[in-house]
Structure 1
Amino acid sequence: MHDLYSLLREFADSWALLALFTFFVGAILFAWRPGSRPLHDDAGRVPFRHDDRPLLDDSPEARI
């Protein structure tokens, strides 16, 4: 059991760390890739898409 723990610990300290770091750098590069600005701008405007008129609240609590 102790040998398996040591093996997994060495794997986590080396290759798993390298894989997670590579994933992190890849995620950053994916977000900052050329041509992605229109997609990010569109995603940033999602909460305001239907902001041209007030929200109608038909719940009974709103009439009190």
Structure 2
Amino acid sequence: METYTAMREFADSWALLAMTLFFIGAVLFVFRPGSRDLAKDAAHIPLKDD
């Protein structure tokens, strides 16, 4: 089996699944309950010295 073919099959199957699961996990992490207050605190960090 050629290297290109093997990498292409991997990218079409398991890598796509891994990227999809990572994306879903990132979305769930961002929209989890209680993250709004943490995001507001992080957004105000540059302005704390003013």
Same fold (TM over 0.5): yes
**Any stretches of 5+ residues in structure 1 without a counterpart?**
52-64
Partner of 2:36: 37
When the two chains are superposed, the root-mean-square deviation of aligned CA atoms in Å is 1.2
Could you say which structure has the higher helix fraction? 2
1:18 and 1:12 map into 2 onto residues whose CA distance is 9
- SS of structure 1 residue aligned to 2:34: coil
Partner of 1:62: none
**Any stretches of 5+ residues in structure 2 without a counterpart?**
none
2:4 and 2:47 map into 1 onto residues whose CA distance is 52
Partner of 2:24: 25
Q: So what's the TM-score if we normalise by structure 1?
A: 0.69
TM-superposition CA deviations, 1:1-38 (whole Å, max 9, x none): x5232122101011101101110111111011001111
Q: So what's the TM-score if we normalise by structure 2?
A: 0.85
Regions of 4+ moved over 3 Å: none
Q: Percent identity?
A: 56
